[in-house]
């Protein structure tokens, strides 16, 4: 197909919606405010995108199996509280990090097991977990944030390599590993088969239950990793609801051109989707648009992206 | 080819029964399939053909009865067990994944991997090369192995599914209505493939509603009605009319 023909093809734009949107946003914001592309602002955008990238990667695994994880942000909150409690109890940084990931991973595994064995719709199960995990976080934390002062966490959230903060580099590493897992391993192929044609996958001897449990566990564990980065960034472990992280994680995946019906997807797409959402919020803030307009803008962008996916091949 | 002593019997179902709730899907079904033969399984819709096939291919487990394969008692817990034993099935819906490529479908759950310490990565090049050889052995117009199954014609899809069923040292290939959705030319090509499978020494268990096809291809016909096996004939010794009579119940065995 020639370049001109490609540009006229709606499917091309659906496939590359996130990248096209990101480039368009960058051009507009840079034209309106030249500090947008300053090294300092780029660095802060990348750091701000890190947690969302990690959550979006987890969400991608789930959505590629035609599921959805509505509990991802609450599980992250629960992980953060688990981290805060164990850290203040004197566990040390390493064990506290492990606990955060493990607790969140277990919550994800519970999601997966109920969905796979109980044969209950994923959005109901994970909606229940959304409530349960945030409730658990409130109970454990007694509703109060715990301030965490740790030199390593401080360096994690402020240091980096050039304009790339450590947290962004961690998110990038997660994305690279996820890409390899999805496209270069048996697990990834079986995951896509489970999402695209569960009966065919089962007929070929693939355990679709095991795949379901695995993707929700991965989503949970990545929420736990996000929890650590969140505590590092905020400087405290709070039992806050973090609803915007849930919406944005789904939004990034949709923007990234991953089919909500499962069976097809990329990791690059949702990563770009996460960067786009972060750039959108950052740019609006730079332009002095009131904070209340940001969720409105995100909502519009996401629905537009979802409309574009109708043109996918 | 036919052996009256039954030494060539590869699949031997004995008194297989299966009940779903109050529905007796299979009642004491006994039948055999021999190496180097095409064994046809016919019957009306709901007669239990597909259910029996699903028992043999490890999707269902019979409530009672035995399934002997290659002289050994089987107890398949999953389709993977059956595939490992050498039973491959071409399902009516073909069991292909549309969003995956031809080579990914051919190697689905049979992937070739290369180990790097604890991680095993797909050896895509090896799979693509082998897939190319597998598909080019087909008489049907050869699909490009890197194209997605979504883009293939009905006949090409059928070919890919058959290719997958025969490509992994399978002994028994079960085909559930392999030509039901195909045009005249494509049907002829798929029939050529089925005959070639037989000539290569596979046992083929063919479910078909097409009597002409059954008479043309098979050596043995088993007839099912309402969950029971109501008759069995050597194809050479029977007529299409007799088979129809057995299916409808006009002829009692």
CATH (domain of A169)? 1.10.3470
Assign a CATH topology to domain B9-97+165-248: Rossmann fold (3.40.50)
- Pairing mode, strands B23-34 and B203-207: unpaired
**Contact in structure between B238 and B221 (CB atoms under 8 Å):** yes
**Contact in structure between A196 and A264 (CB atoms under 8 Å):** yes
Concatenated DSSP letters of A161-193: ETTEEHHHHHHHHHHHHHHHHHHHSHHHHHHHH
Q: Which residues of A touch B82 (CB under 8 A)?
A: 205
Strand partners, B231: B223
Residue A257: how many CB atoms within 10 A of its CB? 25
Residues B215, B238: Cα–Cα separation, whole Å: 9
Work out the mean pLDDT of chain A and round it to a whole number.
92
Q: Which residues of A touch B77 (CB under 8 A)?
A: none
Which among A55, A86, A1 is positioned nearest to A277, based on CA atoms? A55
Task: Tell me the domain boundaries of chain B.
Answer: 9-97+165-248
Residue A229: how many CB atoms within 10 A of its CB? 23
The verdict on B113 touching A (C-beta cutoff 8 Å) is yes
Which among B131, B135, B139 is positioned nearest to B110, based on CA atoms? B131
Task: Specify the pLDDT at position B1.
Answer: 42
Residues B33, A5: Cα–Cα separation, whole Å: 55
| Helices and strands in chain A: count of H runs, count of E runs | 15, 4
Q: How many domains does chain A have?
A: 1
Question: Residue A294: which H helix or E strand, with range?
Answer: helix A293-308
Task: Specify the pLDDT at position B56.
Answer: 94
**Contact in structure between A211 and A189 (CB atoms under 8 Å):** no
Strands (E), B87-195: 87-90, 113-116, 119-122, 172-176
* Nearest Cβ partner for B80 among A180, A199, A205: A205
Examine residue A179 and state whether it is found in any structural domain, yes or no: yes
Which among A216, A208, A235 is positioned nearest to A83, based on CA atoms? A235
The verdict on B96 touching A (C-beta cutoff 8 Å) is yes
Task: Specify the pLDDT at position B153.
Answer: 85
Tens place of pLDDT for every residue, chain B, 253 residues? Answer: 444 445 689 999 999 999 998 889 999 999 999 999 999 999 998 899 989 999 999 989 999 999 999 989 998 988 889 999 999 999 888 999 999 999 999 999 999 999 999 999 999 999 999 999 888 876 567 788 999 999 988 888 888 998 898 877 789 999 998 888 788 888 888 888 889 889 988 899 999 988 899 999 999 999 999 999 999 999 999 998 899 899 988 887 6
Task: Specify the pLDDT at position B2.
Answer: 44
Examine residue A224 and state whether it is found in any structural domain, yes or no: yes
Q: Residues for chain B: how many in total?
A: 253
Residues A239, A133: Cα–Cα separation, whole Å: 10
The verdict on A38 touching B (C-beta cutoff 8 Å) is no
Token pair belonging to A266: 């990329």
The residue of chain A with its CA nearest to that of B60 is A203
Residue A72: how many CB atoms within 10 A of its CB? 33
Task: Specify the pLDDT at position B11.
Answer: 94
Q: Which residue has the tokens 């045009």?
A: B183
Alpha-carbon distance B10 to nearest alpha carbon in chain A (angstroms): 22
Alpha-carbon distance B240 to nearest alpha carbon in chain A (angstroms): 33
Domain containing A233 equals: 39-311
Strand partners, B29: B16
Task: Specify the pLDDT at position A225.
Answer: 98
Token pair belonging to A291: 């904070």
Provide φ and ψ at A237, rounded to 5°. Answer: -105, 110
Question: Residue B16: which H helix or E strand, with range?
Answer: strand B9-20
Token pair belonging to A264: 């097809």
* Partner-chain contact A205 B79, CB within 8 Å: yes
> Residue B25 contacts by C-beta under 8 Å, 6 or more apart in sequence?
B18, B19, B48, B51, B227
**DSSP 8-state symbol, B148:** B
Strand partners, B119: B116
Task: Specify the pLDDT at position A100.
Answer: 97
Q: Residues for chain A: how many in total?
A: 313
Note which residues in 195-224 of chain B have CB less than 8 A from chain A: none
Q: Which residues of B touch A201 (CB under 8 A)?
A: 97, 108-109
Task: Specify the pLDDT at position B170.
Answer: 86
Task: Specify the pLDDT at position A106.
Answer: 98
Examine residue A9 and state whether it is found in any structural domain, yes or no: no
The verdict on A26 touching B (C-beta cutoff 8 Å) is no
Examine residue A200 and state whether it is found in any structural domain, yes or no: yes
Concatenated DSSP letters of A6-48: HHH-HHHHHHTHHHHHHHHHHHHHHHH-GGGGSHHHHHHHHHH
**Contact in structure between B92 and B176 (CB atoms under 8 Å):** yes
Task: Specify the pLDDT at position B3.
Answer: 45
Residues A271, A258: Cα–Cα separation, whole Å: 11
The residue of chain B with its CA nearest to that of A183 is B122
Alpha-carbon distance A177 to nearest alpha carbon in chain B (angstroms): 11
Please give the C-alpha separations between residue B26 and each of A30, B78, B93, B253, in angstroms, as whole numbers.
71, 19, 22, 18
Token pair belonging to A59: 């969400």
User: Which stretches of chain A score pLDDT less than 50?
Assistant: none
Q: Which residues of A touch B97 (CB under 8 A)?
A: 192-193, 196-197, 200-201, 263
Examine residue A14 and state whether it is found in any structural domain, yes or no: no
**Contact in structure between A76 and A131 (CB atoms under 8 Å):** no
* Partner-chain contact A203 B59, CB within 8 Å: yes
Task: Specify the pLDDT at position A14.
Answer: 67
For the stretch A32-37, contacts whose Cβ atoms lie closer than 8 Å and that sit 24 or more positions apart, written own/partner, are: A32/A283, A32/A287, A33/A283, A33/A286, A33/A287, A35/A286, A36/A282, A36/A283, A36/A286
Residues A277, A255: Cα–Cα separation, whole Å: 9
Provide φ and ψ at A37, rounded to 5°. Answer: -95, 20
Sheet of strand B23-34: strand arrangement: B23-34, B9-20, B64-69, B72-73
Token pair belonging to A142: 């007694």
Examine residue A248 and state whether it is found in any structural domain, yes or no: yes
């Amino acid at each position: 197909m020639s370049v001109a023909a490609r540009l006229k093809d709606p499917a091309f734009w659906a496939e590359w919606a996130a990248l096209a949107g990101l480039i368009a946003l960058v051009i507009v914001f840079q034209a309106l405010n030249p500090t947008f592309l300053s090294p300092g602002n780029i660095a802060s955008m990348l750091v701000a995108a890190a947690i969302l990238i990690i959550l979006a990667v987890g969400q991608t695994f789930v959505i590629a199996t035609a599921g959805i994880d509505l509990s991802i942000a609450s599980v992250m909150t629960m992980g953060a509280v688990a981290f805060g409690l164990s850290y203040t109890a004197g566990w040390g940084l390493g064990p506290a990090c492990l606990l955060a990931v493990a607790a969140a991973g277990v919550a994800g595994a519970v999601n997966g097991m109920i969905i796979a064995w109980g044969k209950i719709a994923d959005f109901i199960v994970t909606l229940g977990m959304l409530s349960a995990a945030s409730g658990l976080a409130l109970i454990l934390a007694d509703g109060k944030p715990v301030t965490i002062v740790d030199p390593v966490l401080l360096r994690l959230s402020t240091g980096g390599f050039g304009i790339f903060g450590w947290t962004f580099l961690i998110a990038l590493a997660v994305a690279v590993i996820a890409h390899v897992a999805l496209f270069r391993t048996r697990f990834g192929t079986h995951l896509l088969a489970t999402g695209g044609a569960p009966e065919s996958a089962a007929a070929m001897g693939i355990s679709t239950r095991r795949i379901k449990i695995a993707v929700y566990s991965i989503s949970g564990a990545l929420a736990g990793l996000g929890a650590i980065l969140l505590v590092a960034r905020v400087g405290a472990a709070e039992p806050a609801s973090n609803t915007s992280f849930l919406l944005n994680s789904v939004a990034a995946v949709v923007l990234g051109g991953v089919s909500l019906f499962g069976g097809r997807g990329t990791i690059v797409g949702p990563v770009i989707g996460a960067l786009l959402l972060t750039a959108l919020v950052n740019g609006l803030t730079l332009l002095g648009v009131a904070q209340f307009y940001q969720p409105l803008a995100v909502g519009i962008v996401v629905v537009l992206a979802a409309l574009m996916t109708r043109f996918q091949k | 080819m036919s052996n009256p002593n039954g030494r060539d019997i590869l699949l031997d179902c004995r008194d297989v029964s299966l009940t779903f709730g109050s529905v007796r899907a299979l009642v004491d079904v006994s039948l055999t399939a021999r190496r180097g033969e095409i064994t046809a399984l016919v019957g009306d819709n709901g007669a239990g053909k597909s259910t029996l096939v699903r028992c043999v291919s490890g999707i269902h487990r019979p409530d009672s009865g035995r399934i002997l394969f290659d002289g050994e008692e089987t107890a398949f817990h999953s389709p993977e067990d059956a595939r490992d034993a050498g039973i491959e099935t071409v399902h009516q819906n073909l069991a292909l994944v549309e969003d995956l490529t031809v080579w990914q479908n051919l190697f689905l759950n049979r992937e070739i991997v290369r180990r790097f310490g604890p991680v095993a990565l797909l050896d895509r090049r090896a799979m693509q090369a082998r897939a190319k050889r597998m598909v080019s052995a087909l008489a049907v117009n050869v699909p490009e192995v890197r194209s997605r199954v979504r883009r293939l014609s009905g006949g090409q899809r059928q070919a890919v599914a058959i290719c997958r069923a025969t490509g992994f040292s399978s002994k028994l290939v079960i085909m559930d209505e392999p030509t039901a959705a195909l045009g005249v030319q494509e049907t002829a090509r798929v029939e050529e493939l089925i005959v070639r499978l037989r000539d290569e020494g596979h046992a083929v268990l063919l479910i078909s509603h097409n009597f002409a096809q059954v008479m043309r291809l098979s050596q043995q016909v088993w007839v099912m009605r309402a969950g029971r096996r109501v008759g069995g004939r050597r194809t050479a010794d029977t007529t299409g009319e007799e088979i129809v009579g057995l299916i409808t119940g006009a002829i009692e065995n």
